[in-house]
Amino acid sequence: MTDGPVLVLNAGSSSLKYQLVVPGSGEVRTKGLVERIGEDGSDVADHAAAVEQLRRRLVEDGVDLDAVGLRAVGHRVVHGGPDFSDPVVLTDAVVDQIRDLSPLAPLHNPGAVAGIEAARARLAVPHVAVFDTAFFTTLPAAASTYALPRELAEQHRIRRYGMHGTSHRYVSRAVAALVGRPLEELDQVVLHLGNGCSASAVRGGRAVDTSMGLTPLQGLVMGTRSGDVDPGLHSYLHREAGLSVEEVDDLLNKRSGLKGLSGVNDFRQLQELRAGGDEHAALAFDVYVHRLKHYLGAYLVQLGRLDVLTFTAGVGENNAALRAAVVEGLDGLGLSVDAERNGSPGREARVISPDGSPVTVTVVPTNEELEIARQTVALLETGPAG
């Protein structure tokens, strides 16, 4: 086996995030972001121009893609729909299938398809799609099914899909390594808390529940997304505030969450406001924590027991006060953090609960790019998972 690098691409409608990573060692050769694709006044007209720019940037960084032994390109695709439960080698037919899933992820899949097409035309190595929903295709029907008329749900592919799956998968495996126990034995809850936020319950390495749903709007309070609201809110806003469906969608996705409550979506700013006595920021923090406890409690009961609770992503990895608030008052359920361990800054995976705790609480940095690179290479070496 060669350990050539994998180029991991995350294409959105107007941006192309890239990272050249060595899957075995995890070494990041270079990474960056091409922005403002197709925007007025931008010199990056489309995704093809973005891939050309990426190539030039790599050369500036001393990386010649034709000479570096590039193993493959791994593409992050948000929505794999009901069918893609594993990574897949990209062919024309697969690209068409991903395009067909665009109604399920209108903000994400069209950009991914544009990025995939541009990259496939310019980089003559195998291309693999890794889906953000794939980890959650194992959800039991009771967890993935909305209580809607069956035929309608089937016709429109309405179910809970879950997102951030690449992160939840990577982190739940890293947890097993950290605590030195077989993944198969562990009941886990993973809290991915970044700009987007999601919780998952993972039994023996398989996801059994997650907080995001048909779209990434469901579940936890996020930077700008509301997470759970009363489903009756949409028609109420329509009737009482005269909002259209598009306006409600925009409101709940872009102007709600921490931003709607406090004016800021960045958790660091929220903490500064809160420390300065801002009451809106304080309430935003409390609502955020309340929702987290709601899901933690639900998953604790669904799993029936819990071995490890893990915090990951920007907020989860860096904010000790938030972590302490989530487990506060849960000693009776075996959950607590050691103040010193929780408070000490670190970049590495670590245990923050006291020794001998019934539930181990950990902080594990996520690494979606490395997971995509590894899944890409694993698929090319061993073929599709059974």
Region binding ligand AMP by CB under 6 A among candidate stretches 225-233, 235-243, 311-319, 334-342: 311-319
Q: What spatial distance separates the first Cα and last Cα of the chain, rounded to whole Å?
A: 21
Give the separation between CA 332 and CA 91, rounded to whole angstroms: 53
- Binding residues with ligand AMP: total (CB under 6 A): 11
228: contact with ligand AMP by CB under 6 A: no
Check the annotation: does 318 bind a ligand: yes
223: contact with ligand AMP by CB under 6 A: yes
The tokens describing 158, both together, are: 């309405």
15: contact with ligand AMP by CB under 6 A: no
Residues with catalytic function = 132
Region binding ligand AMP by CB under 6 A among candidate stretches 42-50, 174-182, 238-246, 312-320: 312-320
Give the separation between CA 367 and CA 349, rounded to whole angstroms: 11
191: contact with ligand AMP by CB under 6 A: no
113/191 with CB nearer ligand AMP? 191
Q: How far is the CB of 195 from ligand AMP (least distance, A)?
A: 4
Q: How far is the CB of 278 from ligand AMP (least distance, A)?
A: 16
205/223 with CB nearer ligand AMP? 223
E-strand ranges in the chain read 6-11, 16-21, 28-34, 72-77, 88-89, 127-131, 187-193, 197-203, 206-210, 308-312, 350-351, 360-363
Selection from 104, 205, 196 nearest residue 158 by Cα: 104
Give the separation between CA 274 and CA 255, rounded to whole angstroms: 20
In the shown chain, the binding pattern of residues 313 to 342 toward ligand AMP, with x for contact by CB under 6 A and - for none, equals xxx--xx-----------------------
Please name the residue that has the structure tokens 């998968």. Answer: 169
Check the annotation: does 194 bind a ligand: yes
Find residue 363's DSSP bridge partners. 311, 350
Q: Which residue is nearest to ligand AMP (CB)?
A: 314
CA R_g for the chain: 21
Q: Which phi and psi (to 5°) does residue 32 adopt? A: 180, -170
Q: Which of 170, 267, 288, 299 binds ligand AMP (CB under 6 A)?
A: 267
100/272 with CB nearer ligand AMP? 272
The tokens describing 314, both together, are: 């920007």
**H or E stretch at 364:** none
23/223 with CB nearer ligand AMP? 223
194: contact with ligand AMP by CB under 6 A: yes
Region binding ligand AMP by CB under 6 A among candidate stretches 59-67, 141-149, 265-273, 297-305: 265-273
Q: Which of 36, 156, 255, 268 binds ligand AMP (CB under 6 A)?
A: 268
Say if residues 332 and 355 touch (Cβ distance below 8 Å). no
Say if residues 260 and 224 touch (Cβ distance below 8 Å). yes
Q: How far is the CB of 167 from ligand AMP (least distance, A)?
A: 9
Q: How far is the CB of 366 from ligand AMP (least distance, A)?
A: 7
Strand pairing category for 6-11 and 72-77: parallel
Residues near ligand AMP, by CB under 6 A: 194-195, 223, 266-268, 313-315, 318-319
